[in-house]
A and B are shown apart, each in its own frame.
Chain A
Amino acid sequence: MNWVSMLALIVSATLVYSTPLIFTALGGTFSERGGIVNVGLEGIMVMGAFSSVIFNLTFADTFGAATPWLAALVAGIVGVVFSCIHAVATINFRADHIISGTVINLLAPALSVFLVKAIYAKGQTDNIAQNFGYFTFPGLAKIPVLGPIFFKDTSLMAYIAIVVAFIAYWVMFKTKFGLRLRSVGENPQAADTLGINVYRYRYAGVLLSGFLGGIGGAIFAQSIAGNFSVGTIVGQGYISMAAMIFGKWNPIGAMGAALFFGFAQSLSIIGAQLPGISSIPSVYLQIAPYILTIVVLVLFLGKAVAPKADGTNYIKSK
């Protein structure tokens, strides 16, 4: 293997594994910037993965190659519906955010596997016929060296994810919506006094996290897993949450962290093909993202960086 094809392998594997993390971590930033801690990202990804696979299996003949894209959209909508549970519980019903998120994480695998069993009478779906596959950028792929590494047989969704991250940054820091969302997460009383509807913006944050988390799950299912079972999403939601924290609740930071975690995850898969890496026991690569998150939290972040009212319920006075 020459070094160009080796780099191409690493880059494309990194991109494929990062994409679901990027979408979900971006979702997390919206929710937490609005002041709602969303541990339920894991569960939302499960529902996204589940619904996209069901949609894909059912409509692959009708929509052909467009199926995975439509399925991702459907998964986003399912994510929004599912995140409503978390939103209602935390925003209106004053539930503890972490308990409510944990309920989401307990409910999602149970509900989805129950539905799979009810629909297909077995615990695991068939493999999907249409997946995201690989994409070659016309023209760009011809650039010497860089072309084969970045633009040939790569993941189109990953580039979309990166663009979405920049859009998310723009929305959060350059628009009125973003300013209000952040104010609601920093100091809801002050925001309320200024006439901002705290509950509405918190809903917007949580539902956006449901949409992006659902898409994240759909991308994982349709580009990596290929089917749905109880073992499809194991910890990706938590890694996304870690990426969000690692990225200091900033969309672009979260994207960078997600790329890094995707790289670490892909190494444990493709490591066997790479000289040098193949001699490291894969367990070190598997646990690296988790250990790193803890180290980063301890070394670089105190408790001061999170949005100030993150995780607290706001009770409007009469």
Chain B
Amino acid sequence: MLKVSQRTRQILVPLISILAGFLIGAIVMLIFSYSPLQAYGSMIKGSLGTMASIGETLRQATPLIFTALGFSIANSAGFFNIGLSGQALAGWVGSVWVALAFPNLPTFILLPLAIIVGAAAGALMGAIPGFLRAFFGTSEVIVTIMLNYVMLYSSTYMMQSVMPKSFRVSQDATKTISSHATLHVNWLSNMFGGSRVHFGLFLALIALVVVWMIMKKTTLGFEIRSVGLNPYGSEYAGMSSKKTIIMSMVLSGTLAGLGGVMEGLGTYQNFFIQTASLSIGFDGMAVSLLGSGSALGILLSALLFSVLKIGGLGMQTGAGVPFEIVNIVIASIIFFVAIDYVIGLLFKQKKAEKAIPETPIAVETTEIKQDEQEGGRL
């Protein structure tokens, strides 16, 4: 047993989870007589080998940072936002719609407008479960899952039947957006060997800082964290938990919507029929869980998952291993993060260092007592 401090433990648990996830992937590959070394080698080469592949990896990380931030805000308030993919889809459709409707507006008006509309669409999708949770106590998990499917089918319908016919090139895809609405910038693409990396990358980095500021330096962030830690205590201290619940879901939806905007205005430059929930939704959740919600953690794990995703394509062509192994590795990593209690048993905690009270408010409650009953605790 290792003796480690709380801080080291927080870093060690994700690292061990990552290693264990890769190990599971390697075992699965060995069972089917693929070579894990060759596979992981071509994964690294495929994602970081050339400037173009680094560019694609950064491009992949961009929306993941947004959706992961979205998940972490809701999570801080104690909510499980599984609706990231629906909210991102709303952002994608919204931003592309605006871009197609006003193709000739100047860039400095059209681009911000399209981004804001996309963000607002995501916010609206996030507000619904937040509102229902606050006023009716409806489980946000169920509502967001259901809304994912509502949005999935509606997006196809909106493109095929609500948008003017002139927006589409076929029944399956819209036209490419005009150069006034794109996030694509030539110098950046050229720097990374003509890859699809776009200006959104910088927006994502800004978002990381802004969200960190909101959560740590503003009253709203304080209230969100406080409601997440103890809703009753917060209410007692005079905060409106209803307002906080809705605000956290709105912020969460906004960020997820921006993730979709990155796909619409950045990566693909159009909208096309989606047959399943957007992968950036669940991947963003995975990124946030692995990064344990911190800004640096989210940045690093978004980069890691992008290496996996982009490298997975290289692995398929380079080593002949099916791409799905990447998702097996990701799922395994999250599994190990989820059972951190077991991984934590590997270490012994050092005698409490000077405990810094992380809890924003020290309202005495009797809540804890209720969980304790004879025989065990919940």
What residues of chain A lie closer than 8 Å to B286, measured between beta carbons?
Answer: 106
The interface size of chain B toward A, counting residues with CB under 8 Å, comes to: 50
What residues of chain A lie closer than 8 Å to B296, measured between beta carbons?
Answer: none
- What is the predominant secondary structure among interface residues of chain A facing chain B? helix
Q: How far is the CA of A294 from the CA of B139 in the complex (A)?
A: 10
Instruction: Please indicate which of the listed interface residues A93, A238, A303 has the most CB atoms of chain B within 10 Å of its own CB.
Output: A93
Q: How far is the CA of A291 from the CA of B147 in the complex (A)?
A: 8
| With A99-B338, A302-B137 as contacts: A110 and B327 at CB distance below 8 Å | yes
Q: How far is the CA of A110 from the CA of B143 in the complex (A)?
A: 25
Does B187 count as interface, using CB distance less than 8 angstroms? no
Decide: B331 and A106 in contact? CB cutoff 8 A: yes
Q: How far is the CA of A238 from the CA of B335 in the complex (A)?
A: 20
Does B2 count as interface, using CB distance less than 8 angstroms? no
Which one of A52-60, A141-149, A185-193 contacts B?
A: A185-193
Q: Which residue of A lies closest to B335 (CB)?
A: A103
What residues of chain A lie closer than 8 Å to B322, measured between beta carbons?
Answer: 113-114, 117-118
Decide: B289 and A99 in contact? CB cutoff 8 A: yes
Q: How far is the CA of A85 from the CA of B334 in the complex (A)?
A: 13
> How many contacts A-B (CB < 8 Å)?
152
Q: Which residue of B lies closest to A100 (CB)?
A: B338
Decide: B132 and A298 in contact? CB cutoff 8 A: yes
| With A93-B341, A99-B338, A114-B28 as contacts: A107 and B149 at CB distance below 8 Å | no
What residues of chain A lie closer than 8 Å to B374, measured between beta carbons?
Answer: 189, 193
- What is the predominant secondary structure among interface residues of chain B facing chain A? helix
What residues of chain B lie closer than 8 Å to A193, measured between beta carbons?
Answer: 374-375
Decide: B139 and A89 in contact? CB cutoff 8 A: no
B55 CB to closest chain A CB (Å) equals 26
Does A263 count as interface, using CB distance less than 8 angstroms? no
Decide: A317 and B376 in contact? CB cutoff 8 A: yes
Does A160 count as interface, using CB distance less than 8 angstroms? no
Decide: A111 and B324 in contact? CB cutoff 8 A: yes
What residues of chain A lie closer than 8 Å to B282, measured between beta carbons?
Answer: 102, 105-106
Decide: B275 and A231 in contact? CB cutoff 8 A: yes
Q: How far is the CA of A230 from the CA of B32 in the complex (A)?
A: 20
| With A94-B341, A190-B373 as contacts: A85 and B378 at CB distance below 8 Å | no
B137-152 with Cβ < 8 A to chain A? 137-139, 141-143, 145-147, 149-150
Decide: A238 and B378 in contact? CB cutoff 8 A: no
Does A286 count as interface, using CB distance less than 8 angstroms? yes
A275-295 with Cβ < 8 A to chain B? 281, 283, 286-287, 290-291, 293-294
| With A106-B330, A231-B276, A242-B146 as contacts: A287 and B154 at CB distance below 8 Å | yes
Does A312 count as interface, using CB distance less than 8 angstroms? yes
Q: How far is the CA of A89 from the CA of B340 in the complex (A)?
A: 10
| With A294-B143, A297-B143, A309-B378 as contacts: A102 and B334 at CB distance below 8 Å | yes
Does A96 count as interface, using CB distance less than 8 angstroms? yes
Quick one: CB contact mask for A189-220 with B, threshold 8 Å, 1 for yes? Answer: 11011000000000000000000000000000
Residue positions of B touching A, CB distance < 8 A:
28, 32, 80, 82, 132, 136-139, 141-143, 145-147, 149-150, 153-154, 156-157, 161, 275-276, 282, 285-286, 289, 322, 324-328, 330-332, 334-335, 337-339, 341-342, 373-378
27 contacting pairs across A/B (C-beta < 8 A): A39-B145, A89-B335, A89-B338, A89-B339, A93-B341, A98-B82, A99-B334, A99-B337, A102-B285, A106-B334, A109-B324, A110-B326, A113-B324, A188-B375, A188-B376, A188-B378, A234-B275, A238-B145, A283-B156, A283-B161, A298-B132, A298-B136, A302-B136, A303-B139, A309-B378, A315-B378, A317-B377
